[in-house]
């Protein structure tokens, strides 16, 4: 663990112990598992470019964009993120249209442009938890996918198969009826 990460973890722990709101997100590799808004620059560039204005969340019709406090370390403070299990991205692409710094690039709202430009993460199916892989048909994740048969297709008994075109919006994870969910988006920043 690098010194900066260690100090960030200490600050986050102190805030939580002092009565700050605990992180609601699932930990992934010791850090919070989150997605950046669609069209976001790679993480290092994003952190250097984001001016913490909050316009992306104000324009979001799905209200999926939240802002870090101390829970993800000092570098991420006041930057936008999405927890797909709480509220997934509907790929409206409005956040990129209003971002004044270019931390979130504008992306045309067409399937081709979204597939080419959006890299929030990629869904992974845990076949041990998925009902369709246990012999029961489900298909809820497939029906939630905004890019059916392109990003996610189904096999026998509606078994979900994630395709290379998955952009990681998290709608499949949000819709999954299993607890814990059988399909999760692994962020590109992991």
Closest to 180 (Cα-Cα) out of 21, 9, 36, 33? 33
| Tens digits of residue pLDDT in 45-77 | 999 999 999 999 999 999 999 999 988 888 889
DSSP secondary structure letters along 132-165: GGGT----HHHHH-SSBTTTEEE-GGG-EEE-TT
- pLDDT bucket at 79, cuts 50 / 70 / 90: very high
For residue 80, give the nearest of 106, 98, 103 by alpha carbon.
Answer: 103
Whether 21 shows a pLDDT value over 60: the answer reads no
The pLDDT of residue 18 is 43
Q: How many structural domains compose the chain?
A: 1
pLDDT above 90 (res 152): yes
Within 8 A by CB and 6+ apart from 18, the residues are: none
Tell me the torsion sign for CA atoms 139, 141, 143, 147: negative
Q: Which candidate, 164, 180, 189, places its Cα nearest to that of 40?
A: 189
pTM for the model: 0.82
What is the extent of the structural domain holding 161?
A: 3-187
């Amino acid at each position: 663990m690098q010194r900066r990460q260690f100090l960030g973890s200490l600050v986050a722990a102190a805030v939580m112990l002092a009565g700050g709101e605990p992180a609601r997100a699932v930990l992934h590799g010791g850090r919070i598992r989150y997605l950046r808004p669609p069209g976001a620059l790679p993480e290092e560039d994003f952190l250097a470019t984001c001016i913490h204005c909050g316009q992306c969340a104000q324009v979001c019709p799905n209200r999926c964009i939240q802002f870090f406090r101390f829970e993800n370390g000092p570098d991420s403070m006041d930057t936008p993120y999405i927890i797909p299990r709480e509220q997934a991205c509907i790929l409206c692409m409005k956040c990129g249209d209003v971002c004044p710094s270019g931390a979130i690039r504008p992306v045309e709202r067409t399937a081709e442009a979204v597939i080419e430009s959006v890299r929030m993460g990629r869904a992974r199916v845990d076949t041990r938890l998925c009902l369709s892989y246990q012999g029961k048909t489900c298909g809820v994740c497939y029906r939630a996918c905004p890019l059916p048969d392109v990003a996610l297709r189904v096999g026998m008994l509606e078994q979900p198969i994630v395709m290379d075109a998955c952009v990681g919006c998290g709608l499949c994870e949000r819709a999954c009826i299993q607890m814990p969910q059988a399909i999760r988006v692994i962020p590109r920043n992991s």
